A and B are shown apart, each in its own frame.
Chain A
């Protein structure tokens, strides 16, 4: 109902004895405050069912246009007016929209910094050097190359985000495999799978993590400490499945004798990224927003690239993907309208509360399912406000689901998949059966292992 401040936590109310850590209650209240609706101003506003119908229709339109990209439009072209419309019609109050924008602003800034950082690392030759290093270490053996690809893709995804692995590392991995005369399929598929699975470790690894991190009440280091074990468990499952699944391609051998030339590592980029990582840990200890550290890291590389005339200011702005940042903000506001106008009541019934192992498993499975239907970005936006009251364990379980889940469907979601099938109906872009079979082996196993590892981490590290 509009006009009533929502203070009721979603899901069953927890008794004080369930609060597992001292001080957690405060964090929980702070986090919940981010999602609490403000009283609506006096005057005519849409009634809730109508507002919900409008919000859902707009969300569907925004997502459909993001998938289809009509006329090659940027995704923001539809998303930003849609956010304006939910605001104008009163489906979301200006105060709520402002709160959402204030919450998402730092996330978007953080994301921009990481995108620029990754692009500048590429300009510095980090990914080329990575390819040379993999070729050298692989010594002409496909199974060793797979190990190198797993190490590189896991590290790059964790530190420079999944975008870096998908856009920048994948072509390098293909080129490396081709140069060695190794069958490229297992190595390229490893990149696509790890861009999801290996994006669990740090808040910067995935946009979904950044969104969850800001409302979880966790510090940067505690987030990493809780996710380290799930990250390792999920990658280990992928590795074991890949070695069996692609046994034929990995046994086929290589044509070219291994190269002996030692790659020259781009020291400046490596040191900058290393310092940025240390900065993340230090900043969270002294209470500085880690987004500033990411900006500082990007700035150091940007200044160097500008001085050396390797990049133009316009090029820098392009790598920050401003329309994408606008899209994230607008999507956040539209999802907020959908959640506040009734989805929270509807989904609140089915979302379990607590952080016992069965609850965490159920949450992760639900998140994976939702991510596979539409996409993990709207899925995490919808699920976060409903799971924040249950504490960081529940939030991280949702993250495991939305990050690992997309490996089940080629192209990350059923909606995108269907659209690509329609567009590419006349050719066989990908062997869907094989891709899905690989997902069926890795996702449930990886999710189970990661959630169990999270549960253990929560017991050891503590969520508070």
Chain B
């Protein structure tokens, strides 16, 4: 059984914990982090907007790219340490939601965290990227809360009429 755990800044510890709790002993666990291209891309674009500055070596996008790679690796190392059992670390670069779906192609389970609005439970409970992944995932999905899940008391009253 192959389990892909999607590691995202801010919400990943809950996903690693869920993999530890729910993946069988013999499961092959893949820790996946995707570095979005649009963050260095925005820096590249802002520099391109400065007409006539020359000095392409000063393009901040290049620096952000290398920082992003280092940051992704650090995150995966932390996730590996928290997992505490053998696992594969996979780093991808591109459109986050599409890369995650592609990486889950041959998986038997994809673990990801709710990352939307946590104060108003409802249709916005998933951010745009997570929404896309949930909609297009090619395998079963385990959706976990990044913090202890809310009790039944948070249920809204049933609609009257």
A binding-site residues for B, Cβ under 8 Å: 63, 66-67, 69, 72, 74-76, 79, 142, 162-163, 166-168, 170-171, 174-175, 178, 181-185, 188-189, 191-192, 195-196, 247-249, 251-255, 318, 321, 323-324, 327-328, 331, 375-378, 406, 410-413, 416, 420, 427-431, 434-435
Contact = CB atoms under 8 A, between A and B. Distances in A.
A181 B75 contact: yes
A251 to B, nearest CB: 6
8 contacts: A162-B50, A167-B60, A168-B60, A181-B10, A184-B68, A255-B75, A321-B55, A328-B52
8 nearest A-B pairs in the assembled complex, by CB-CB distance: A412-B49, A252-B10, A248-B127, A430-B41, A178-B71, A192-B46, A411-B45, A327-B52
A183 B10 contact: yes
Judged by DSSP, the binding face of B is: helix
A192 B71 contact: no
Given A67-B48, A178-B71, 4 more contacts: A69-B56, A166-B43, A174-B67, A412-B51
Nearest to A427: B37
Given A75-B54, A324-B53, A430 B117 contact: no
Contacts of A175: 67
Interface of B: 8-13, 36-39, 41-56, 58, 60, 63-64, 67-68, 70-71, 74-75, 78, 94-95, 115-118, 127-128, 146
A412 B45 contact: yes
Most chain A beta-carbon neighbours within 10 Å: one of B46, B54, B128: B46
Most chain B beta-carbon neighbours within 10 Å: one of A166, A195, A255, A318: A166
B50 A166 contact: yes
Contact of B115 (A196, A248, A323, A413): A248
A174 B47 CA distance: 15
Nearest to A377: B51
B52 A167 contact: no
A162 B117 CA distance: 33
A411 B48 contact: yes
Judged by DSSP, the binding face of A is: helix
A171 B47 contact: no
Given A185-B38, A247-B117, A377 B63 contact: no
Contacts of A328: 52
A374 to B, nearest CB: 9
A186 B12 CA distance: 19
A331 B38 contact: no
B48 A412 contact: yes
A251 B67 contact: no
Nearest to B79: A255
Contacts of B117: 247-248, 251
Given A171-B60, A254-B10, A188 B39 contact: yes
B52 A66 contact: yes
A120 B74 CA distance: 31
Contacts of A252: 8-11, 115, 127, 146
B38 to A, nearest CB: 5
Contacts of B118: 251
Contacts of B94: 427-428
Contacts of A429: 37-38, 41, 44-45
Contacts of B8: 183, 252
A258 to B, nearest CB: 14
A174 B68 contact: yes
Contacts of A189: 42
A189 to B, nearest CB: 6
Contacts of A163: 50, 53
A253 B9 CA distance: 8
A321 B11 contact: no
Contacts of B50: 162-163, 166, 412
A248 B9 contact: no
A318 B60 CA distance: 17
A174 B64 contact: yes
Contacts of B48: 67, 411-412, 416, 420
Contact of A192 (B9, B10, B45, B78): B45
A253 B12 CA distance: 10
A253 B50 CA distance: 33
Contacts of B56: 69, 72
Nearest to B10: A252
A136 to B, nearest CB: 19
A60 to B, nearest CB: 14
Contacts of B78: 255
A318 B54 CA distance: 11
B36 A185 contact: yes
A410 B60 contact: no
B54 A321 contact: yes
A171 B37 CA distance: 15
A178 B68 contact: yes
Contacts of A67: 48, 51
Contact of A74 (B54, B70, B75): B54
Given A166-B47, A170-B60, A430 B54 contact: no
A375 B51 contact: yes
